[in-house]
Amino acid sequence: MRLEGISAAVTGGASGLGLATARKLAGAGAAVTIIDLPTSQGAEVAAELGARFAAADITDEQQFAAALDAAGPLRALVHCAGRGARIRLVEKDGEPGALEPFEDVIKLNLIGSYNALRLGAARMAEHDAVDGERGAIVLTASVAAFEGQIGQIAYTASKSAIVGMTLCAARDLASKAIRVCTIAPGIMDTPLLGRLREDVRKSLEDSVPNPKRLGEPAEFGALACNILENPYLNGETIRLDGAIRMAPR
């Protein structure tokens, strides 16, 4: 897929991995729509990039659908929106782990990804194929999908499900000439990690085999663009993690 001139949407595009992806897409000449919460910095970021901002909660079907419609004739969707929550199955006081935060993470990460697939693909399917394809969708999982750490039960469950959906979705959408891939990032240098103490940050860097540093959001954005551009990448989950394998805690 040629990125220049296409309509592309990025969820969670106001910060972190989504922002880095929006920058890469805009730099490649795509017409980018950032989809993020109304409380985000989406409007400011979009103005800086020469992009469009569409405020939406991705778990709300009507809001998300309207945001995708605002993107124009959608050809590319990179879905980065999501979050985690620390939950223990049995708390220190012996009480069972809380249910509500588990449900919240599943709703945002998993249901949100399902919405991205079905709502995004329905719009792409309306277009004529260009060079044999109508569009492509990139989802975001995590290395936690494979090596979930203690306390990541909700995050791991949601991200593992996204990995599981990837091949199924690619097969389902093959008849529509729409590709689906997933990126599973490791420890990325997002604003959240920027608040860590220097010694904690150094320990995280040392845990990465090579290169011995945190991943850069721009590297995620570059991979997302590579996936969109390469017509033979389909149904695959790609780890972007410097060969890290997460310890139990």
**Catalytic annotation, residues:** 155
Q: Calculate the alpha carbon distances from 105 to 7, 79, 82, 99, 201 in Å.
A: 29, 15, 8, 10, 25
Asked whether the CA dihedral 233, 45, 56, 151 is positive or negative, the reply is positive
Angle formed at CA 65 by CA 64 and CA 68, multiple of 5 degrees: 85
Q: Residue type for 237, please?
A: T
Q: Residue type for 116, please?
A: A
Q: φ, ψ for residue 223 (rounded to 5)?
A: -65, -40
Residue 58 three-state SS: coil
